[in-house]
Amino acid sequence: MNTTANADAMTAILRQISLDWNRTISYGRSYIAIFFAYVPGFTCLMAATGSTLDSVAGAAIGGAASGFLMLNITLFSYEQMNNHHWMNGIVPINRNHQILGRFAFLIACDLVAGLEVAASIACAGTIMHEPVKVTDAIDFAAMTVLTLVLLNAIVQPFLYRFSPYRAMAAIILSIGVIVGTVIGLRKALPEFEKTVEQLAEAISRHQAIALATFLIIDVLALVFSSKISLHIYGSKDI
């Protein structure tokens, strides 16, 4: 009985992944090409115009994070456009499987984003005649994946609770509050900036520990986010 239930659950999750994939590619090949080309193109352009490798790496991670985060929002927008009738027959069994399938699809996309960032930084390093070590490229890729997983975990309950546009407004407002708080603390407390610098130095010295800690935070965030999303989504009468 449990084996059958597990098989049905896995089938449902795979159906949701297939559904999200079909939604993603439904915008056409040009959209997919632009989506995957803009980060490498932008980072290589920065490298060719004399930017430092650190700034290029930051731009690559930020560009990939923003682009793949928008993909998450696009999936929810698509669901409300009534343009997915042609995908009838692959709808998941229940909302729990739908949420798990959405997270699985996003994590797969996050892994792709990590590879994209690593390749972009490696290409930029070649252009700048500053070869990037394999370990550094892996670190950049891991940081991209972990950052995106955390961002998606934070954003997901907003998207299940509100419309995509209202969710975006709430997310932007939250980011503004956080940034404003950090800026205020830096101005009001000189020790705060020194503490941040010390923390950054500690992370750079112990990258493996930092990544492991980040991974634990991501796992906890995913569990917490999925439970909140299920509670919100399950209470909707749709």
Query: What's the pLDDT score for residue 133?
Result: 80
Query: What's the pLDDT score for residue 138?
Result: 84
Nearest Cα to Cα of residue 72 among 231, 224, 229, 236: 229
Query: What's the pLDDT score for residue 82?
Result: 55
The first and second tokens of residue 58, run together, are: 């930051």
Query: What's the pLDDT score for residue 64?
Result: 80
How does DSSP classify residue 132? Answer: P
Angle at 63 between CA 139 and CA 181, to 5 degrees: 90
C-alpha 7/C-alpha 32 separation (Å) is 32
The mean pLDDT values, 10 residues at a time, for the chain of 238 residues are 70 82 75 74 77 78 79 76 50 74 89 86 81 80 87 86 78 74 68 66 71 86 89 71
Nearest Cα to Cα of residue 152 among 96, 92, 110: 110
pTM (2 decimals)? 0.79
The first and second tokens of residue 162, run together, are: 């509100």
Query: What's the pLDDT score for residue 4?
Result: 72
Query: What's the pLDDT score for residue 88?
Result: 45
Nearest Cα to Cα of residue 74 among 106, 44, 40: 106
Taking CA atoms, 19 is separated from 76, 155, 175, in Å, by 12, 20, 30
The first and second tokens of residue 174, run together, are: 């939250």
Q: Is the Cβ–Cβ distance between 113 and 144 less than 8 Å?
A: yes
Segments making up each domain of the chain, as ranges: 2-234
Residues 6 or more apart from 127 whose CB is under 8 A from it? 44, 47, 48
Query: What's the pLDDT score for residue 89?
Result: 46
Q: Is the Cβ–Cβ distance between 155 and 167 less than 8 Å?
A: yes
Count CB atoms within 10 A of the CB of residue 178. Answer: 10
Query: What's the pLDDT score for residue 220?
Result: 92
Query: What's the pLDDT score for residue 224?
Result: 92
Query: What's the pLDDT score for residue 67?
Result: 77
